[in-house]
Amino acid sequence: MEKDELRQRVITRLQKKADSEERQIQAARILNKLYQSQVWREADSIGVTMATKFEFPTSPLIQRAFEMGKRIAVPKSLPKGKMIFHWVDPDTAFYTTRFGVEEPDIEAVAQPDELDLLIVPGLVFNRAGYRIGFGGGYYDRYLADYRGNTCSLVFIEQLMEDWQTEAFDQPVQQLFLSN
């Protein structure tokens, strides 16, 4: 199956369940697994996106990290498929990009080697940790040089094995699933 077709299929699945109680239960299970993991406990600084309505909800994770004294960095997209993370705090202002993504309205750059853990978003995942994102290649480019820990928070509807990875695809080290 082609990546564009997979993206659309999974977006539709995620949108259908975005506000369901089942989705909230799944998200809570996945977050509990993350919070109990070694990568979470050992991370003092975390890179994470602000989720759109149908993606895995990152707001509870960000709130929990702040409560635990962890530092949070959120990415901004740049030209030519690049992105850079910026340190945020509970009072940081955000703006919405033309893609519907919230980005920090701040210029406090977080260098890749300052991030202990990167929580990588995606639409489709396989069990080997490869993912299909929204098609811009931002995370694959970033992950090519990133040396910290990586993980993704994955709803079961996003797990599919029937697709081909490409040479530039970068896997995450660990998937947190609800089952």
For 63-117, how does the pLDDT look when each residue is reduced to its tens digit (9 = 90+)? Answer: 999 999 999 999 999 888 889 999 999 999 999 998 888 999 988 999 999 999 9
Nearest Cα to 97, choosing from 65, 123, 72, 74?
A: 74
Helices then strands, counting H and E runs in the chain, come out as: 5, 11
pLDDT category at 1 given cuts 50, 70, 90 is: low
Mean pLDDT of 120-133: 92
All domains in the chain, ordered by first residue: 3-170 (3.40.50.10420)
Question: What pLDDT score does 89 carry?
Answer: 96
Q: Classify residue 116 as exposed, middle or buried by CB count within 10 Å of its CB (0-12, 13-18, 19+).
A: middle
For 15-66, how does the pLDDT look when each residue is reduced to its tens digit (9 = 90+)? Answer: 888 888 988 999 999 999 999 999 999 999 999 999 988 899 999 999 999 9
